Amino acid sequence: MNYLDWKNKGKLISVFGNDVFVIDKGHLKKTLVILHGYPTSSYDYYKTLPELSKHYRVIIHDHLGFGFSDKPVDYSYSLIEQADVALQLWKQLKLTNITLLAHDYGTSVATEILARHNKQQINLQIEKLILCNGSMHIELSKLRMIQKLLRNKITRKWIAKLTNYPLYRKNLRNVYFDKSKATNGELQEMWFMLEYNHGRKVIHFLSNYINERYTFWHRWIGALKETTIPTKIIWAKNDPVAVAVIAELLTLEIPNNKLFWIDNCGHFPMLEKPDEWLNLVLK
């Protein structure tokens, strides 16, 4: 799908003074909200949105700094603030009862939301939680070299300036199990969305989420240990970054959970094996 066709499916909603790109599809009573990963956007779900919207009202937004949302240079891009934006957006959309699905970067935004939910700080009923391939246990994650360089305060600005499409394509393709599934056309569309609205100027700010996963480890892992929300863990088994041992540890920590594996699949199961991923989400 062309990135402009994807843009036409959504709209911009002002949240705390910044424009957030939102897709709101489906008219059913049950609502599924999705928190996407890094360094991509809501576009990760272009293959699965048509089927998901037959079962839910699906709401997915681009985090600030990603996709078609605003990319201000004078912004912290803290996962805490990304959670603030998500919660305010859902409040503006008058959501009161949701199923929350999160992948990669989005899983840390989700755990911040869980921490507030556990303390009854938010007026939102979360019926179910679905977690997919996220490095919540950052100490077990196998970070790529470019992630390490972008995380480093000295090198990250220069790496962001030097980032180009061939480098992006190589790094994204390397987290797929079946490299042929990461087509040039699809990766090109993702790159367009990263560059959209001067996105390369904020790449090095976005990567600070890795440091935050260490800083707020006890808060966010603690939130998973405390939650009573029924949780489904859907994990691509051959993810070279959010490795399988993370999912296995989560099953020991989250009180009410069920783990489902997707074999022979890398970091983006909704793109690499969309039908299998969909079946597990809707199961």
The CA distances from residue 120 to 13, 34, 44, 202, 222, in Å, are 26, 21, 31, 33, 15
Taking Cα atoms as reference points, which of 92, 102, 99 lies closest to residue 35?
102
Q: How many other C-beta atoms lie within 10 A of the C-beta of residue 19?
A: 16
pLDDT score, position 143: 66
Q: In the prediction, which pLDDT does 218 show?
A: 98
Task: Residue 131: name the closest of 14, 2, 239 by CA.
Answer: 239
136 within 8 A of 220, measured Cβ to Cβ: yes
The pLDDT profile of the chain, 283 residues, written as one tens digit per residue, is 999 999 999 999 999 999 999 999 998 999 999 999 999 999 999 999 999 999 999 999 999 999 999 999 999 999 999 999 999 999 999 999 999 999 999 999 999 999 999 999 999 999 999 999 999 999 999 866 555 555 556 565 656 566 788 988 998 999 999 999 999 999 999 999 999 999 988 988 888 898 999 999 999 999 999 999 999 999 999 999 999 999 999 999 999 999 999 999 999 999 999 999 999 999 9
* Residue 211 and residue 151 in contact, taking contact as beta carbons nearer than 8 Å: yes
CATH of the domain at 68: 3.40.50.1820
List % helix, strand, coil for the chain (3-state, nearest 5).
45, 20, 35
Look at residue 163 in the predicted model and tell me its pLDDT: 75
| Total domains in the fold of the chain | 1
Predicted local distance difference test score (pLDDT) of residue 220 = 98
The answer to whether 255 and 167 are in contact (CB under 8 A) is no
Find the largest Cα–Cα distance for the chain: 49
Model confidence, pTM: 0.94
Angle in degrees, 0-180, between the axes of helices 105-118 and 79-92, rounded to the nearest 10: 70
Place of tokens 């805490």: 80
Structural domain of 114: 3-282
Kindly state the tokens that stand for 144: 């790529």
pLDDT of residue 153: 62
Q: What pLDDT does 203 receive?
A: 85
pLDDT of residue 157: 60
